[in-house]
Structure 1
Amino acid sequence: MTIAMAGGVSLATQGTAQASPGAVTARAAADTCSYPYVCLFKNGVKIGQFKDVTSTWQNLPSRPSGPNLVVQNTRNDDVAYIRWSGGSTTCIPPKRSFTVSTGTLTGIRISSAATC
């Protein structure tokens, strides 16, 4: 598994991993989202995570789309906004997940606001 970091964004790319018996594999470790991240999952596999509160949008170069896309906000008191390809936005409250059944995402922004 390859992890690339750029401005608080880490994107995972699927690869092959070998582990010794009893070790947690790279894929199993990547399929969770812990505080204080906002993570994107496609078909149950984490494809991105964001941590930084920003005043501007963080672009999603992969432009993930539904179905089977979930955005999980693990933050305790910060909301997360997702931006759709048409320009509209959706707010995800703290400690909540949002399932994208159709549509394409182009950006994400974590705000220090506690409510949407």
Structure 2
Amino acid sequence: MPSTRDLLVGQPFVDGLCPAWLDRLTAYAHPVFRNRGYRLFAAGRPAMRFWLLRSGRVALDLPRPGRGDVAIETVGAGEVLGWSWLFAPHRWQFGAVAVGRAAGTRSRAG
């Protein structure tokens, strides 16, 4: 099984990242697998991490009164999920749920 660092090296997001920063990111990261229907986060909750998706798809959604969560976009392999941890007020602007078995590397926004 590849190491977490090896998994990160294969992500377009970290392409060209200097080794010291890659090592720092690796210290905060770990691989995760989520089955279809698993909610990664909900709009309005504290945002403290992000994901680099290796496979599968994740739907971004917004809660709508009387309609439940409405999907607005789908992200997939090679994309970054969860930018809200980077910007004040550090709360999820959208929700996210796996719409297919998803594999990724999750990192705390430490």
Structure 2 length normalisation: TM-score? 0.37
Q: Flag the structure with more relative contact order, 1 or 2, with Cα contacts below 8 A and sequence separation at least 6.
A: 2
Structure 1 length normalisation: TM-score? 0.35
Select the structure that is richer in helix.
2
